[in-house]
A and B are shown apart, each in its own frame.
Chain A
Amino acid sequence: MHMKEKAVKAKESEAAERGTNFNEVVLGYDETEALKEAGRCLQCKNPVCISGCPVGIDIKKFIDEIDHRDYKGAYSTIREKNDFPSICGRVCPAEYQCRKKCVLTKKGSPFASPEAINIHFLERFIGDHGMKNKLAPALEKNKTLSRFKVAVVGSGPAGLACAGVLARAGIKVTVFEGLHKSGGVLRYGIPPFRLPRDVLDFEIDYLKKMDVEFIPNFIIGKTKTLDALLSDGYAAIFLGLGAGIPSFLGIKGENLCNVYSANEFLTRINLMSAYKFPETHTPVNIGQHVIVIGRGNTAMDAARAAIRLQRMSGLPPDTTILYRRTELEMPARRLEIEHAREEGINFKFLTKPEEFIGDSIGFVKRIRCLACELGEPDSSGRRRPVEIKGSDLELPCDIAIIAVGLTANKILTKVTPQLKTDKYGDVIVNPDTMETSVKGVYAGGDIVGGEGTVIEAMGMAKKASNAIIDFLKTKK
């Protein structure tokens, strides 16, 4: 009986050892472990796990292929739907997606049970196997489409996924990126200890091998307008602009020195390699008491980066995540919460920041908070935090990192009135085709729907790229 066997845990570097570097934490499965985990799959007649995957990977099939040691087959099965198995196998919140749907997850559980098949680890095993063995699937260049060129704006998850599908169809793709390196949030947002840079570079190089051209330092809406891009002869344009603007709390003292947005803190570390200062020239500050305010993966990433910097600077680790609800309501991946704890991060739940207090030269020193209790559920279904009057408390804080979300990047939309946006500044699209209010211009990822996951962005990009292909086929 498969069912009685316990899930195979992926190997991880020791918590004590990982504290002082930015190397990858989860080491993944070896072949024996992958085979053992694949063997636990029940191969359900009705594989509901697939409905939990935003890009619809044939999970049942690829696991069966692993079970039969047909890794090449498994690689092709995944690549049919997802060009980035090594990335998604590392960053997908599988416990809210495919694994939550797995029949081994207990009914009514808010996220996957530990018994659910570790689909993401198997995907990663296959992705890495493909990377090591250069299992790139053959390109089927479609001659009727190769006369078209398409522009992709933004090289984050949505842009990369769209470029992959289009290039595979034989279309000449040019990706415009505002920063100096490609990858978007995969590069500036997700730390190397979760997504090693060689993995990201491999997946981007793979697209380059498919003739995708990457133009960095090019900001559509600034360097060139959308109209100018259309008149440059691009038959269609995909906008993967991302949710770029960090939100702040709007409380007193928020602009004191050493109060960072998570975006800034992580960009300095991930994109600019500030942890190697002065070998690299971009600095980042660290202090004795780091407070991270947030609840999602970004908050976990920021806290885990901060505690590493504390250890690397010889400071006793003291990093705390403040959240006004409880652990149950945290949208972060369970694995990240677990990793954060293992690495020594403190959690202070039911605590709401009220004010940052600084010293005479404007650097943050303390944070004043209120305790909360959980009240009735709000519109999101989560129980609402209710402040307890008179529960004021002060915590020492010389680095604060605010990770409370992002809003739409408006650089392009602000100068392109014909591109219709909603009240949040998100681009409005036809949900069936992802086409915007401008004909031939499509959009996907966080710019059309707030803060989703990498794989959701890729799912939208996939839908858009298929619609682009249909659109080009109708062109004479």
Chain B
Amino acid sequence: MKIFDKKILAEANGARIVRIEILSGHIASAAKAGQFVVLMANEDAERIPLTIVSADKAKGTITLIFQEAGYTTRLLGKMNIGEELYAVAGPLGHPTEIKKTGNIILIGGGVGIAEVYPVAKAFKEAGNRTTTILGARTKDLLILEKELKNVSDEVHIVTDDGSYGKKGFVTDALKEILSGPSSLAPGALVYAVGPIPMMKAVSSLTKEFKIHTIVSLNTIMVDATGMCGCCRVTIGGQTKFSCIDGPEFDAALIDWDELTNRNRIYTEQEKHICKLEGFIQ
């Protein structure tokens, strides 16, 4: 699976968000909004899930966007156009259920914006009114602003440091919208992707306002086809596998504390291998 195109989308304070386009005709033909692939950079690499940001059926390519956070994403970020990924499989997980319900509020935090984009596009194309909230640490790490503007009726931007848009968090912008004068039509939906604390905060806010909220989870996976159960999450007291039952779940039913813990299972090893490679000090 060859890397067809690559671009550094954002870079600030040592953080990089990278976009790669991969040649894979079969996945491009089958991919739907909300689905992901599992990939290996090289033969020794970990298998990691990444959301399919867009698929070009004609060209036979899929686009993935990731932030260099752990060892594998840093390794992936070092790969260049023309290089082959060892493995890419998909599309995996359930596609987003796209329907016309009226108002959709889409919230993307950090690299999560990349995952919100295909869903926002699909909801917009289905005839919904889309309100988008984009959050980033700082202006230079904000991605896909133009793309999201093209598929949104309204866009709100917040940055942690106030370098762009309003200073604050996505929940501040969300609260303002929800408490504002223009009440949402019944059937309104919030769709959020970002760091776990962000999704958790969004969830507790929308619970207050009684608005159905869907989040897409980034759990640790190995095979990503239901075989290992590494990605299990508790949803309304029941164990589900994020890879085959998700990756999207009703935010109100998620056991967020368990999810937070489970995503830290390999923090020590991650630090160790990153240090060995000189990726971190």
Contacts and interface: CB of A to CB of B under 8 A. Distances in A.
Interface stretch (B4-12, B50-58, B185-193, B268-276): B268-276
B224 to A, nearest CB: 9
A411 B227 CA distance: 10
Contacts of A409: 225-227
- Chain A's interface size range is 35 or more
Interface string B181-206: 00000000000000000000000000
Given A264-B228, A267-B227, A267-B228, A223 B222 contact: no
Interface string B32-75: 00000000100011110000000000000000000000011001
From DSSP, what is the main secondary structure of chain A's interface residues? loop
Contacts of B261: 256-257, 361-363
A362 B266 CA distance: 13
B12 to A, nearest CB: 26
B162 interface: no
Contact of B226 (A180, A255, A278, A411): A411
A380 interface: no
Given A282-B47, A362-B262, A218 B227 contact: no
From DSSP, what is the main secondary structure of chain B's interface residues? mixed
Contacts of A224: 26, 30
Nearest to B266: A283
B264 interface: yes
B225 A178 contact: yes
Interface in A339-354: none
A222 B90 contact: yes
A261 B231 CA distance: 11
B91 interface: yes
Nearest to B37: A217
A219 interface: yes
A255 B239 contact: yes
B122 interface: no
Interface string A185-206: 0001000000000000000000
A402 to B, nearest CB: 9
A246 B228 contact: yes
Interface in A271-325: 271-273, 277-283, 285
B222 A264 contact: yes
B46 A361 contact: no
B155 interface: no
Q: Would you list the 8 A-B pairs with minimal beta carbon distance, nearest first?
A: A362-B261, A264-B228, A283-B269, A180-B87, A217-B89, A261-B229, A278-B273, A280-B44
9 contacts: A180-B47, A223-B26, A244-B227, A248-B239, A255-B255, A260-B230, A271-B223, A283-B266, A409-B227
